[in-house]
Structure 1
């Protein structure tokens, strides 16, 4: 196979949560640019602008309602994608939330919501995708972990717990599904200039401290995740299983 063909996703169907903004939006566009048809799994399906952008690339693209805080919707969305597109080849559960509060004051409702969005919905989506991919003998699942998969962070106990679990879930699913031809891997973002980190970006002192610690000398942008995501979604990563791919500007090696 020629090198360029390894990254070609023509004829594949990808489903992406969190595609309305940030990393999820950038990845969805990148997958479409690589040739994939894309199901945009979003809480709101009223704004059709991004869908139309991807259709303009010549891809099939559909908005599919999925609130990742609603387990009934999460359980039903993969079968709906398969029904509408005929198959599912790539899953990227990118939706995520954050809540910052000192651990002694951290409210239970916030804990439950962060774990629901960042972990339980990810598990349910991956399980549903596995039920399609494992019997067929092929498929790509790209989870979104975090540097807090390896580090505790600060005033983000629920996020750190969820992302730590995502790292272990990546390995657990890879152990079971690799032999069936299903690749389960995860991207590991460092500090990314998105809405989730607006408070840190606005804090002059913390922004400076974080930037100085990143060997690359800058925060990531959502577009920094396109190449790694396409790699993990494509045939180029056929022998990559259970890997946590850091996209962090060198943060974890500091």
Structure 2
């Protein structure tokens, strides 16, 4: 008989969060830590004060240096005493410009972080999770993986790749008790959108597209991530969950 008190229990769970020093990733770190999880953050940011106060592990690293990802993962795993329950791939970048003006090295950097690092970390995580017959991998995609973006073609393409990777990896690893899912945030109040938020006209244009008539807060994504990280989602895999105030339903 199912013990429903354990469905959302995260106490003692060992979690790696990329991009956890700021934005949506930082909200994940705070919430999961409060729920009793042990966490290691992989991030390039210098914003360590916000992490040290939470008593979580931190490895400062550039995940665009794909040849070093195995080392970063090994270091994180050691901090978690050799076991990993949940991987949250949250690190990402966006560079807005018309498609004809995008330098190819910018395209490559976006894909290295948004896609290739996610793929490599997920593969490394799956190897460890298979040893215990269970695990959760949560990828941050975006609503632009469905609707496309304007002046952000590399970002949109990278998030579409994240969605397809989520499905493909789920197909391979579900048989081992590993659930791979993705979250699609909508228009969220983060530094990534600072250029839009500072333009009152554009900000209002975006708000008008949202049935909820307001931008989302990073904390709005937390509940979905916690669901996907717990036993409550053990039979949920290979899906994309929009958290967008209704944008994709229009």
Under a length normalisation based on structure 2, what TM-score does the superposition of the two structures give?
Answer: 0.95
Q: What is the distance in 1 between the residues matched to 2:76 and 2:137?
A: 15
Instruction: Specify the alignment match of 1:58 in structure 2.
Output: none
List per-residue Cα deviations over 1:54-101 (Å, max 9, x = no partner): 23xxxxx21123211111332222222222212111101111100111
Q: Tell me, what secondary structure is at the counterpart of 2:121? A: helix
Q: Is 2:21–2:48's contact at 8 Å kept on the other side of the alignment?
A: no
Q: Do 2:186 and 2:242's aligned partners in 1 also have CA atoms closer than 8 Å?
A: yes
Q: Which residue of 1 aligns with 2:239?
A: 243
User: What residue in structure 1 maps to residue 80 of structure 2?
Assistant: 85
1:7 and 1:34 in contact (8 A); partners too: no
Contact 2:143 2:186 in 1 (8 A): yes
Deviation at 1:51, TM superposition (A): 2.8
Q: Secondary structure at the match of 2:179?
A: strand
The equivalent position to 2:145 in structure 1, one of 142, 146, 149, is 149
When the two chains are superposed, the root-mean-square deviation of aligned CA atoms in Å is 1.3
Secondary structure class of the residue paired with 1:188: strand
Shift of 1:47: 4.8
SS of 1:54's partner is: coil
Please tell me whether the aligned partners of residues 81 and 88 of structure 1 are also in contact (alpha carbons under 8 angstroms): no
Q: Provide the aligned length of Structure 1 versus Structure 2.
A: 248
Residue of structure 1 in register with 2:51 after alignment:
51
- Deviation of 1:6 after TM superposition, in Å, equals 1.0
Structure 1 gaps of 5+ residues are 56-60
Q: For residues 1-254 of structure 1, what are the structure 2 equivalents within 5 Å?
A: 1-44=2-45, 47-55=47-55, 61-86=56-81, 87-254=83-250
- Whether contact under 8 Å (2:21, 2:51) holds in the other structure is no
Once residues 230 and 64 of structure 2 are traced to their aligned partners in structure 1, the CA distance between those partners, rounded to angstroms, is 29
Shift of 1:42: 1.8
Contact 2:40 2:79 (8 Å CA) reproduced: no
Shift of 1:2: 4.3
TM-score normalised according to structure 1 size: 0.94
**1:14·1:92 contact (CA, 8 Å) conserved in 2?**
yes
Quick one: distance in 1 between partners of 2:229 and 2:73?
17
CA–CA separation in structure 1 for the residues paired with 2:62 and 2:199:
31
What is the SS of the residue equivalent to 1:183?
A: strand
